[in-house]
Structure 1
Amino acid sequence: MTGASAVAGLLLAAGGGRRLGGRPKALLEFRGGPLAEHAARVLHEGGCAPVHVVVGAGAAEVQARLGSTGTVLVENPDWPRGMGTSLRAGLASLAAATDPVAVSAVLVTLVDQPRVGAEAVARVLAAHRAGARLAAAAYGGERGHPVLLAREHWAGAARAADGDMGARAYLRQHTAAIRLVECADVASPDDVDTPDDLGLLR
């Protein structure tokens, strides 16, 4: 494909941090600001535009702290039902707000992976620029995030999203079509899920 079309960024940042004692992950402090601010900046710096951020737990505070980051905030009232609802909300927002000719794909990231940076985002975007319609970062050959979905895959991914699965079920159905982009040399997919993981933020 040509480089004419943009790739949107979609940050899933609605989780309530149940295993963190109910601290919304989007509001965890990282490098002087909320984790969601850092993750949105990573998408911008990696080459994504526009960037939509799905919020849920602590939505009002997240919105207040992200108001000037140049992102589109999407509130997901169904966030307690799992990540799948956030993926559906984000894809619906992008489909309604973006021109199919101007925005060819979306790159999806998770707010709780602070060691996935702009270089990993840029690598996955490059795979799309080279023709991939489905692409994902890989870590030692194992698929992880970011995940890129060309626009023709949005509806199918939204239909398949369920519970905490996000796009996993859809990607499993289309494994042969996914271009894996090794990123272990520049990023790490470690999640901030429990108090023991908070060291990832230091």
Structure 2
Amino acid sequence: MSRPSTVTGLLLAAGAGRRMGGPKALVELHGEPLVRRALRVLADGGCAPLVVVLGAAADDVAAALPAGVHTVRAPDWGSGMGASLRAGLAALDGDAALVHLVDLPGVTAEAVARLVAAPVGPTALRRAAYDGRPAHPVLLGRTHWDAVAASATGDAGARAYLGGNPDVELVECGDVADPDDVDTPEALARFTGQRDNR
């Protein structure tokens, strides 16, 4: 009997959050740091194990993590998201990784579950879409990791590899999640207000 495929939840949380005024991983939404919220979404969506890439304020972010979460430090995190993605992928085992960003509080466990619902193997390549527009999170099977890492530069992450790739399967999530990032205090306030008014 073959073993079931595993999908590691890979959370990129290394940024300094200059426009936010501090690392977004530590920004609280309804009393919960964004890093913990994002990890809860990954776990509730079916990802295990969970791995967080650290950079800015690494010790403080690590102290905010729940038990059982693995950490990876990206020494060159200051050069952009690409460095975090490379460091994270290099540290992983398993068949596939669900890559999530710490500043996307509108991404839900339901969206993650849709990406991992179909059989997941090392060749899987899926991306959440919102009204047909591709965004995050992204599911990367192991066979894609080297090529994604090679193309990940600056703040582009996996964008260069995914853009126009005919193998990418888009999974519509617009009815269960919101892809907008929260980069500034104003954006966070808007997000909080939208949720509180629903």
State the 1:201 CA deviation. Answer: 4.1
- 8 Å CA contact retained: 1:114, 1:201: no
Change (3 A) 1:130 1:49: closer
Q: Alignment partner for residue 93 of structure 1, among 66, 91, 94?
A: 91
2:175 corresponding residue in structure 1: 185
Instruction: Supply the distance in 1 between the matched residues of 2:133 and 2:125 (Cα, whole angstroms).
Output: 15
The aligned residue for residue 136 of structure 2 is: 145
User: Is the contact between residue 96 and residue 122 of structure 2 (CA under 8 Å) also seen in structure 1?
Assistant: no
Question: Where does structure 2 lack aligned partners over 5 or more consecutive residues?
Answer: 194-198
Deviation at 1:32, TM superposition (A): 2.2
Deviation above 6 Å: which 4+ runs of structure 1?
none
1:162 alignment partner, SS class: coil
With normalisation by structure 1, the TM-score equals 0.89
Structure 2 CA distance for partners of 1:128 and 1:84, relative to 1, 3 Å: farther
User: Would you say how many aligned residue pairs link Structure 1 and Structure 2?
Assistant: 191
Match of 1:8 in 2: 8
Equivalence for 1:38 = 37
**Alignment-mate amino acid for residue 38 of structure 1:** R
Provide the alpha-carbon RMSD of the alignment.
Answer: 1.8
SS in 1 for 2:140: strand
- Once residues 99 and 171 of structure 2 are traced to their aligned partners in structure 1, the CA distance between those partners, rounded to angstroms, is 14
Which structure 2 residues correspond to residues 29-108 of structure 1 after superposition, within 5 A?
29-66=28-65, 68-94=66-92, 98=93, 103-108=94-99
Greater percentage in helix: 1
Measured against aligned partners, the alpha-carbon deviations of 1:68-90 in whole angstroms (never above 9, x if no partner) come to 33210111121110000000000
Query: Could you say if the C-alpha distance between residues 26 and 62 of structure 1 is closer, same or farther in structure 2, counting changes exceeding 3 Å?
Result: same
- Given that 1:12 and 1:109 are in contact with CA atoms closer than 8 Å, whether structure 2 keeps it comes out as yes
Question: Gaps (5+ residues) in structure 1?
Answer: none
Task: State yes or no: 1:155 paired with 2:146.
Answer: yes
What TM-score, normalized to structure 2? 0.91
- Match for 1:25: what amino acid? K
